[in-house]
Structure 1
Amino acid sequence: MKTIYKAAVLIFTVLFSSTAVFAQTKDEKANLIVQEMLTAMGGIKNYNATHFIQWDFVNRKIFWDKWTGDVRIENPAAKQVVLLNINTLKGKAYENGLLVNDDTKTQELLVKAKNWWINDSYWLVMPWKLQDPGVQLKYIKTDQLPDGKTIDILQLTFNAVGVTPENKYWLYVDKKEHLITQWAYYKNFNDTEPKFLKPWNNYQKTGTILLSFDRPNEDVGPKNVIVKSNFDASIFTEL
């Protein structure tokens, strides 16, 4: 997958535009905007209570037990199925329907699968991850989109977490709906023009929360999302 489609993080030093007090106020404003967003999407309690999510991303199918960290990723293009726990990085991999017995290759596939999960899940649940440890949020400005909507722009970067340390994002949050309407991806922190500006729309209630997926006219993004409380746990242990 192209670099621009990788969910990413950045290790950086925040440059304050004036005094430390002013910067602190901006951080508080960004966090307030995120709190309003999470409330509009169902609340963090309901997100934490969501047990199982399944979705498609480009040519992969992902199954995720949020409570245990167990993940199944099917990659039909390479005839691969990887079963792993994203917290322990333990698991197993199959190619062409056969268990991979080479320990080195298995470990390589487990690492690759975790990176796939980091990327693919971020395109789906990013709003719920904005206050995770290591996340840096900064209020940029309030602006108006061409369609007349008033939005708050937040800058998203990271501190010592993630797999791509040079990226940043701008999130455009509708002031009325309190939902992200689009996001911009910058390959490097100092870039002034984004590599992409894509919609974050078509919110649908799945279980007790809102998620944005099946975005119109987008070839990249989460599709066919399923949220369940009851599921067959053997999908994380058996081919």
Structure 2
Amino acid sequence: MHSTIKVKLNLLVALFTAAALCANGQVSQPEITTKLWEAIGGQDNWQQARYFMFSCTGGQKGSFVQGERRYLWDKQTGNCRFEGVTTDDETVIALFNIRTHEGTAYINGVQLNNPRVTEDIIKEAAEEFKRDAYLLFLPTALDGDQVSVKVGDEKLVGTQRFTMVNIKNPKTVFSASVAGQLYVDAQTGQIQKWRPNGSSNEFSVDGFKDIGGGLVLPTRFISSDTSASVTYPLAAALVNIEDQKFERP
């Protein structure tokens, strides 16, 4: 008899706890994951999209280029075209695959014949791509079979209330590792802030833009360290890119 009463009491406590969590606005992991995907146009649209064109400025600590960097990316094959101006004021074009790091490089329109120099430039360009794709495609880091998403408590920042979401993905489709804490508007699913693990920087996220293909991505990441802020003047999902764009300058 006492055992039956204890079970009923435990059940009541569990129900009241669940009701309290809902009343406080906390959401489950499946709910927040669904919201995050809906905010950028849906997981199906992301998986179906293949070609992307984007450019970015800022956030250039340790970079071998200056000013705006420009990219064409085939998400399906991993082929990438990188264009920029080096710190020595030379125009550089690197045509490579983000997964294999194989390809060719051109300085001022002339193809490099030195394998070692070509390898170094492609390595640098691949690192630039990872850094720049990391933020633009941050909301898509939920994609993958190794991703971990944990919903934390709500947090009040100023007058805004956010759901804290810890995310970890060791291998995204854009070949970068993502780990950190998202500040998410639980109503819209939009990411409002991003705090990478192991970094003192915190990014305010805005500039959400319809890039085509039913996708909406953020294009402004304002850091607490202003030198780390990144903006994407151009961001577009394309129906097609000519193969030659990945083969010659």
Give 3-state SS (helix, strand or coil) of 1:150's partner.
strand
Q: Please, which runs of 5 or more residues in structure 2 have no aligned partner?
A: 1-26, 58-67
Structure 1: state its 5+ residue gaps: 1-27, 189-193
Give the one of 170, 185, 190 matched to 2:196: 185
**Partner of residue 172, structure 1:** 183
TM-score by length of 1: 0.75
- Structure 1 residues 163 and 126: CA distance shift in structure 2, 3 A: closer
DSSP-derived class of the 1:196 partner: coil
Higher-RCO chain (CA-CA 8 Å, sequence separation at least 6): 1
Trace 1:56-205 onto structure 2 (pairs within 5 A).
56-58=55-57, 59-77=68-86, 78-146=90-158, 148-159=159-170, 168-186=179-197, 188=198, 195-205=200-210
Amino acid at match of 2:106: Y
1:136–1:159 contact (8 Å) kept in structure 2: no
For 1:101, give the aligned amino acid: N
| Cα offset, 1:214, TM superposition | 4.5
Quote the Cα distance in structure 1 between the aligned partners of 2:151 and 2:206: 21
> Contact 1:30/1:138 (CA < 8 Å) preserved in 2?
yes
2:214 is the counterpart of 1:212: no
Structure 2: distance between partners of 1:160 and 1:79: 31
Once the two structures are superposed, what CA deviation does each residue of 1:135-177 show, in whole Å capped at 9, x if it has no partner?
A: 333323112221x23211122345588778xx84221000111
Contact 1:54 1:62 (C-alpha < 8 Å) held by counterparts: yes
Alignment correspondent of 1:45: 44
> For residues 55 and 171 of structure 2, what CA distance do their matches in structure 1 show?
28
Distance in 2 (CA, whole Å) between partners of 1:105 and 1:128 is 33
Partner of 1:225: 235
**Larger Rg, first or second structure (1 or 2):** 2
Q: Is the 8 A contact 2:35 2:188 kept in 1?
A: no
Q: Percent identity?
A: 21
Measured at CA, do residues 206 and 65 of structure 1 come closer, stay the same or move farther in structure 2, by a change above 3 Å? same
Does the 8 Å CA contact 1:173/1:179 hold for their aligned counterparts?
A: yes
| Cα distance change of structure 1 residues 60 and 160 upon mapping to structure 2, 3 Å threshold | closer
Q: TM-score, normalised by structure 2?
A: 0.72
